[in-house]
Structures are given as structure tokens and as C-alpha cells.
Homo-oligomer: A and B are copies of this chain.
């Protein structure tokens, strides 16, 4: 049996007829060079989704979620048919399939369904008949033949889920960057591209704002040990970054780099600009109050990110935490209400903070990493408002105005420039 590869192309890779033809060439080359069965997952073309949303908002600014799914799922259907036509044009057998035709069963939750299972019979039959199978990302259906979209990161997740269900060797995610970098090239001049990265490192980088891969798809890939390759449809010969749990490879590489340049336990520097900081000050330091506060926020659909609590000598506590900036106003109303209930002194909201983080699975056995990060910030006069750490990540909340500078000094401090192959 031939090996199977799944390749996913995002909207910017498919933004015009010319780009679609270029993608068809990549698919053809993959199929023949790797002598594999190929499944291709696509997003909606370039601005299609935005155009549809514009039209929608002229008609109804609060449309029913099911009608929104009905509308937006057309975008991928346009892409699949055009890519299949482009493949046919260069003499490749190809067939396009919508989410329901591809057997992608989802939860019955409109606009943010998760994939439950994939009935792969139809895809497998088409692959056996030597077709390149082009599948609509971002969409699926339930037992009642309702159409659901998967929400943010949906097409990446479709690709990974298909790769897992089909027992694929690998899943290529084509984006508009050539690889995973040590930081955002728009902020840091000399970033390095990474040949390999672990799922955990990628998860931290992704959720921290290096928006190359959505955490959902990385989590799924991690759970099923599906190797992902992040690469660019503009540089198809560049192998990009392999995301896998192949710790041996990572460790070896990392060790080699350590020997040469030291301190390469830090793999990347990320910035999340969509943070807001809330404080609730003078809270009676009683058990259960934090649970109450975060419980109420959670019931209102507000996710809390970094949390810092400190207790003063007078038996009062201060709770600082960050939320996504677009839910900050709502969170403020909630904590004002809770502050009254629990007898807190006052609350405050700062919309102008960002989270700067370093990520690397090797940090765990490297002492002094945190100190080095804090020191590099201190030398530039960048005040650290909050600190949060995990086994493979250290994050600092700093003033928005100093965010990009913070990324630059940290990137430099850990010697991350000039590492690319």
C-alpha cells in the first residue's frame, strides 16, 4: 500500500487563479516525488470569508449561527472545485469533496464544532482510483445532515484529523511563512528558522501569539503522534519546520547547538498583544475567594490567562490577572460586581499590556534561564508587571509600549539570531 500524505493550504496560498495553479503544481510534485497517495485540505480563497461576512452584516448583524455556517461553508467549496480543476488541467486525476461528502462528522455546535470522527471510505476509494482528493477544510456535518463549521484553526484541524484517520505518514501545513521562527520577523530583524520543534514547544509558541499553527491542530497532532510540517507555498522546496514528538532528534540537535553556542534551551520568543490586565485590590484573604472570582468569570465565558496573587501583611490580598483584550470590558463589570460582594477595596483595568514569552523544552534542566530573561529586560528599563511560568515557558507581562523592544532584547540575549540552516 502506498503511503498517504495530507497537505493543507490556507486562504492566502489560494488567493487567486494563479496561486491555485501554483498549489496544484506543488500537489503534483509531492504525489510523484514521494510516490504517495495525496489528500489536500483547503481553506476559502483569500478574502472570500471576509466578503461573505460583509454581505451578511448588511443583512443581519446578529445572524443565527446555523445560517452563518451555511453561508461561510461555501467558501471552501469554491476552493476545492477550483483546485480539482487546476489539477485536472495539469493531467492529474482529482476529485473534490465537501465536508459532508468526505464523511467529516462533527459535534452539533454551530460556528465552533469539533470533529468527532471521519468516515474515510469515500476518500479511500478515490485514492485507490489514483485520485488526488481535495477536501473542504473548516466544515463537517452531524447525524441530522446539518452543516457545521469548526471555528478558528478549523482547516488545520481538518487536515490533522484526516491525516490521523487515514493513517497518513505526515501532514504538511502550508502557510505564508517559510517555517517556525525563533520570533516574529516583523519585530525581530534576525530571527532564525527552526528545523524541528516538539509539539509542546509549538503549543506554547502558538498559544502565545506566534500564529503559525492553531493550538487545536497541534494538540490533535500531539495526541495521535502525527508529524506536521510547517512550510510555505511560495517556497515549496524549503522543508520548513517539522513539528513532532521525536524527542531524540530534538534533543540531539539541541545538544549540538548547545555545544556550539550554549543556552539554546530557548527555542523562540513570542509576543501576545491581545492582553489586558485586571486587578482586584484589598480582597479579604479568605479561602475560596479566588475560586469564586474565577468561577464567575468562567460562567460569563471569560478565559483568564496569567494569574498572580499576593497577600499583604494586613490580611488583604491583591489578585492580578490577564484576559483577552476583547473581553476586558465585560470582565471589568464582573469583577466590580464581585468586588462589592466580597468586600474588596477597589479594582482596576489596564488595556495596554502585552505578554512576552520564551519557550523551549530544554529549559527544564537549564538553571538561570529566567534570571537571564529578567535581567535583559531590566537592563533596558522594561518593568515586569507579572510573571508566569510553565515547564517549558516563561512569560512576562509588560507595558504595551515596550513589548516589541522586550522581544528584541530577549531574542538577542539568548543568541537566537543566525541559527537557520
**Chain copies in the assembled complex:** 2
Which parts of A2-30 form the interface with B (CB within 8 Å)?
Answer: 17, 20-21
Closest to A146 in B: B101
Q: Is the CB of A85 within 8 A of B66?
A: no
CB neighbours (8 Å) of A100 from chain B are 100, 145
CB neighbours (8 Å) of A86 from chain B are 59-60
CB neighbours (8 Å) of A63 from chain B are 81, 85, 88
Q: Is the CB of B58 within 8 A of A84?
A: no
Which of A67, A82, A96, A147 has the most CB atoms of chain B within a 10 A radius of its CB? A67
Q: Mark A32-64, 1 if CB is under 8 A from B, else 0.
A: 000000000000000000001001101110011
Contact size class for A? 35 or more
Closest to A66 in B: B95
Q: A307 to nearest B CB, angstroms?
A: 40
Q: Is the CB of B70 within 8 A of A81?
A: yes
Contact among B56, B59, B60, B70 with A96 in the assembled complex (CB-CB below 8 Å): B70
A89 located at the interface, meaning its Cβ lies under 8 Å from any Cβ of chain B in the complex:
yes
Give CA–CA (A74, B21) in the complex, Å. 21
Q: Is the CB of A71 within 8 A of B81?
A: yes
A408 located at the interface, meaning its Cβ lies under 8 Å from any Cβ of chain B in the complex:
no
Q: Mark A83-118, 1 if CB is under 8 A from B, else 0.
A: 011101100000110101100000000000000000
A322 located at the interface, meaning its Cβ lies under 8 Å from any Cβ of chain B in the complex:
no
Q: Is the CB of B67 within 8 A of A71?
A: no
Q: Is the CB of A81 within 8 A of B101?
A: no
